[in-house]
């Protein structure tokens, strides 16, 4: 199949889906209130892969990605965690929530925090904050939602009252693109 980030995706039947079809899907409106640079409607500014997996590595192939930039000291990040946990648990086949810590925190601090506070989703650590810097993140929590074609479909605050509906819209639109009809 094609790798994430290319201009097309592959259905479960191995059929290539052109980027133009993805462009016509019912994606959520772009968020105007951002604490980061906007990449909505564009591919990620850099590929993942330099982060250290703290939890067991999970497959992201064929899944909508939610990248959550957070820190152990961030109150709003902690308050968003139960929502992200609930969404991961209810969408295990179609969603991969990846919590990316960094912000100068050492990996040991994060691991110690997760002993008592881990959720059902995955944790990665980016000590040099390469990924958050690529997104221009100026405030956390900051969440990025990507469809299976590697395009950012929404980004913003995971505590947003509409966040669950936005994520559901992305999952449903993405599923429609990959359906075998």
H or E, element range at 16: strand 16-17
Catalytic residue among 34, 77, 95, 99: 77
Catalytic residue among 74, 109, 114, 172: 74
77 in active site? yes
Beta strand pairing status for 9-10 and 16-17? antiparallel
Q: How far apart are CA 74 and CA 1, in angstroms?
A: 38
Quick one: the chain helix, strand, coil %, rounded to 5?
30, 20, 50
Q: How far apart are CA 84 and CA 8, in angstroms?
A: 27
CB 101 within 8 A of CB 124: yes
Q: What angle do CA 117, 123, 126 make, to 5 degrees?
A: 120
33 in active site? no
Which neighbouring-strand residues pair with 168? Answer: none
**Active-site positions?**
74, 77
């Amino acid at each position: 199949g094609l790798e994430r980030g290319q201009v097309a995706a592959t259905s479960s039947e191995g059929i290539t889906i052109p980027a133009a079809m993805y462009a016509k899907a019912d994606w959520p409106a772009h968020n105007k209130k951002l604490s980061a640079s906007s990449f909505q409607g564009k591919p990620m500014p850099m590929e993942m892969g330099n982060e250290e997996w703290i939890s067991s590595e999970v497959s992201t192939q064929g899944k909508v990605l939610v990248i959550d930039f957070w820190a152990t000291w961030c109150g709003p990040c902690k308050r968003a965690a139960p929502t992200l946990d609930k969404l991961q648990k209810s969408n295990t086949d179609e969603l991969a929530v990846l919590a990316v810590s960094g912000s100068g925190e050492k990996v040991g601090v994060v691991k110690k925090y997760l002993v008592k506070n881990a959720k059902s989703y995955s944790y990665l650590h980016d000590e040099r904050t390469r990924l958050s810097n690529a997104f221009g993140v100026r405030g956390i929590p900051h969440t990025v939602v990507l469809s299976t074609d590697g395009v950012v479909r929404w980004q913003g605050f995971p505590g947003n009252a509409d966040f669950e509906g936005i994520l559901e819209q992305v999952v449903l639109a993405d599923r429609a693109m990959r359906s075998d009809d």
